[in-house]
Amino acid sequence: MTYRVCLVCMGNICRSPMAEVVLRQTLTDRGLGDRVTVESAGTGGWHVGDPMDERALTILEQHGYDGAAHRARQFTRDWFDRYDLVLAMDRDNLANLRRIAPSGVEVQLFRAFDPAAEEGAEVPDPYYGGREGFEEVLALVESASEGVAKHIADEID
């Protein structure tokens, strides 16, 4: 049985695809890659079909990750049935997901699994900034991915 995770941000071209690539690698490094599927999506649909933001892709590549295959998708209500874990990058997208979630479905913040993060910590949107914002996002998702991987390992073992 495959455990399925979806990471969600606004447009699915910066934060959530970066987190998808990093979490997938983290899980692979821990021997869980064949038991977990990691995907990402956005709450908005204006980038559907677009590749990852070039700045995000460049930062990932410079740190040894490959995000070239990514294409943006939009998360819809019927997707909740597909996933065991749905994680939002920020409180706005968390609220958007909770608004459409079926009764009893829990959605959490991605950084809730980062032991170094304060309660309610978010992954900030780097879209309107420069390189440093994308570097910050990478550092945050790398840190949180460790905790998410531990959580998933506990869930499936």
d(CA 108, CA 125) in angstroms, rounded, equals: 17
In the set 6, 14, 15, 55, the catalytic residue is 15
Torsions phi, psi for 99 (to 5 deg)? -65, -35
Lateral strand order in the sheet of 108-109: 36-42, 3-9, 85-88, 108-109
Catalytic: which of 53, 90, 114, 125? 125
Q: Is 6 a catalytic residue?
A: no
Whether 30 sits among the annotated catalytic residues: the reply is no
From the candidates 6, 9, 14, 114, which is the catalytic residue?
Answer: 9
The DSSP symbol for 96 reads H
Write out the catalytic residue numbers. 9, 15, 125
